[in-house]
Amino acid sequence: MNRNQSGFTLIEIAIVLVIIGLLLGGVLKGQELINSAKVKNLATDFKNVPVFIYGYQDKFKALPGDDSRATTHVTATTNGNGNGIIEGNWNATSGESFDFWQHVRLAGLAPGPTSTTAADYLPKNAVGGNIGVTNSSATNNPVTGLKGSYIVCSNAIAGKFAKQLDTTLDDGNTATGSMMATTVGTATGGTPNGNLDDDTTYLVCMGF
């Protein structure tokens, strides 16, 4: 008695395996492109802040946040003290480093709300962490040993992204140079970390 038996041939199985391989490759490539785009966006944040500062200086001969005539120059809410330093921690919720964002936005240099009470007043990076500006004085420096007249910090960045950023913008070592990483959320005096875990988040700061 003959019975019809059906099943997959070796060729059919091979075709299925090739399709699965292509799908997996596409998924991995897509994730790689997404990660690459995030790193580019994070890098752009670090590059833009100097543009904001120098653009404001060029217009008004003063530092944004520190400008003692900001209420006249850009109709800001508050003036700075005009001592040539953007004072306050990078993550401050008042003072010059906080007012910095209002000044550069009112000057037409940066996008975002100009009201300091807006829920989204403080800018965020591509991964949802806050961005801030400060100086390298012992009082406000977020990472011990980081040098520069101005420092821009970006919070909650995964270690794998932080390492790519340092390779792109600095010396490839997150414990040395003009870009350093430290414990996520650190306000001041963080210890530079050159041994980052890919999936742990960090505070990344760059001096210039």
- Region 16-45: mean pLDDT is 79
Lowest-pLDDT range of 16-25, 37-46, 140-149: 16-25
For residue 142, give the DSSP letter.
S
C-alpha span between 205 and 69 (Å, rounded): 29
pLDDT over threshold 90, residue 201: yes
pLDDT, residue 29, reads 60
List Cβ neighbours of 41 (8 Å cut-off, separation of 6 or more): 125, 126
List C-alpha distances in Å: 9 to 13, 14, 52, 141. 6, 9, 65, 67
Domain boundaries, the chain: 10-207
Helix (H, G, I), strand (E, B) or coil at 43: helix
**The pTM of the whole model exceeds 0.95:** no
Of all residues in the chain, what percent carry a pLDDT higher than 70?
A: 93
Work out the pLDDT band at 33, boundaries 50, 70, 90.
Answer: low
List C-alpha distances in Å: 189 to 116, 133, 138, 205. 27, 15, 8, 12
Buried b (16+ CB within 10 A) or exposed e, 151-168: bbbbbbbbbebbbbbbee
List C-alpha distances in Å: 136 to 45, 84, 184. 19, 13, 18
Give φ, ψ of 101 to 5 degrees. -65, -35
Tokens found for residue 121: 């007043």
- Region 185-204: mean pLDDT is 98
